[in-house]
Amino acid sequence: MFHHVKELQFNARVSKPDVRFAKLLLEQFGGPNGELKAAMQYFVQAFGCRKAYPAEYDMLMDIATEEFSHLEIVGATIQMLLTGVNGELKNAADESDLNKMLDGKAAKENYIHDAMINPHFFLVSGGTPTLTDSVGNPWNASYIMGMGDLTADLRLNIGAETSAKMVYENLMKFTDDEYVKESLRYLMTREVAHFQMFQAALEGIQPNFPPGILESDPRYSNKYFNMSKGDDFKGPWNEGRSPELKEVWQVIEDPLQHVRATNGLLDEKSKGTERTDATVQQHNKKLSAERKTTVEAATRPENGVMSWSVYEESLQAKSNQNHKG
């Protein structure tokens, strides 16, 4: 159940119209890293963990709902930046008024050029926000990422917050309006907050690596293939122990020769790890059973009926009625 409060979560302000920046800001309204994408991604992901992971479901729904409020902030800011455009586009009697409204900052030729690049924004929407990115590509559901596994989804969300944060950073470079920057700084900061929330939730699920259920093959999980020749570098990605599985990295200096010598890696041997195929299979079965039990216990019908919600007041009323009886 959604309940709309008409005041914005953050008091967005604009000092003056700016048609061009309004167009850029569409990137966070209907773009692949924008607020609608984030809201829908977290909203859809939440369905899969409603019963099995109620705490994480609550978090996902809270953040998804906040992202909708951020979409409202972005939309309101775009509309304020277009102050005058909506009215002047409707003033078909006097074409010169549009240039006057632009205050000389964009000649009519530039305005026509922008309209040709994104005609929906300037010609079809009548000076209101559109669900497109900054060049007019329509928003679509392919932006949404979800794997149905909570540990994988949380990692996807960490990446989504990272991308959105970077877009806000870049947007701030293209406006001198301190009020607009104030809003963008707030929205950017909330991306950082959400990043940490998803990260904390991920750390609370154990085990959470690798994503999903099945462990990796110990013959290949710590192999580093030196696939390029020239200046070779060492780092925590190819020396010492791997950060998650704590296996010793094995550097394959000549991948072609190695692949040929191992019959296309079919004869590869495990090195630098205590994991074996037997222990992997044991852990796979154990975790599979745990996750299956968790989900089935949480989604088991009661008296032959599956219910999505529990209405506390209704239960209390029934309880009171039973006591009176």
Report the percentage of the chain scoring pLDDT > 70.
82
pLDDT confidence of residue 110? 60
* Residue 219 sits in the same domain as residue 134: no
Pick out the residues of the known binding site: 35, 58, 62, 67, 70, 161, 194, 226, 228, 230
Using one digit for the tens of pLDDT, what is the confidence trace for 133-168? 988 899 999 999 999 999 999 999 999 999 999 999
* Residue 142 sits in the same domain as residue 263: no
252 pLDDT tier (thresholds 50, 70, 90): very high
* Residue 89 sits in the same domain as residue 31: yes
CB atoms within 10 A of CB 102: 20
Cα separations (Å) of 156 from 4, 52, 63, 166, 170?
28, 20, 14, 16, 21
Stronger pLDDT, 71 or 1, i.e. the higher one:
71
**What's the rounded mean pLDDT across residues 183-206?**
97
pLDDT confidence of residue 129? 87
Has residue 318 been placed in a domain? no
H/E element holding 38?
helix 35-47
Pick out the residues of the known binding site for Ca(2+): 58, 62, 226, 228, 230
Largest Cα–Cα distance of the chain, in whole Å?
Answer: 85
Report the percentage of the chain scoring pLDDT > 90.
72
Q: Which domain holds residue 220?
A: 215-277
Domain end call among 180, 203, 226: 203
Pick out the residues of the known binding site for Mn(2+): 35, 67, 70, 161, 194
Has residue 288 been placed in a domain? no
Is residue 172 within 8 Å of residue 66, measured between CB atoms?
A: no
DSSP string, 159-172: HHHHHHHHHHHHHG
Distance CA 306, CA 130 (A): 39
Q: Which two tokens stand for residue 54?
A: 């109620």
Burial environment of residue 186 by CB neighbours within 10 A (0 to 12, 13 to 18, 19 or more)? middle
Q: Tell me which residue of 63, 65, 52 sits closest to 205, measured CA to CA.
A: 52
Has residue 84 been placed in a domain? yes
* Residue 236 sits in the same domain as residue 165: no
Instruction: Work out how many domains the chain is built from and give that number.
Output: 2
Is residue 172 within 8 Å of residue 184, measured between CB atoms?
A: yes
Using one digit for the tens of pLDDT, what is the confidence trace for 74-121? 999 999 988 765 555 445 444 444 454 455 554 455 655 555 455 556
* Residue 246 sits in the same domain as residue 126: no
CATH of the domain at 24: 1.20.1260.10
Has residue 321 been placed in a domain? no
Using one digit for the tens of pLDDT, what is the confidence trace for 114-130? 554 555 565 455 568 88
Has residue 1 been placed in a domain? no
pLDDT confidence of residue 276? 96
Using one digit for the tens of pLDDT, what is the confidence trace for 229-242? 889 999 999 999 99
H/E element holding 193?
helix 178-203
* Residue 70 sits in the same domain as residue 188: yes
pLDDT confidence of residue 111? 55
Using one digit for the tens of pLDDT, what is the confidence trace for 260-319? 999 999 999 999 999 999 999 999 999 999 999 999 999 888 888 888 887 865 656 666
Q: In 51-177, which residue ranges form alpha helices assigned H by DSSP?
A: 54-81, 85-89, 96-101, 108-117, 119, 150-171
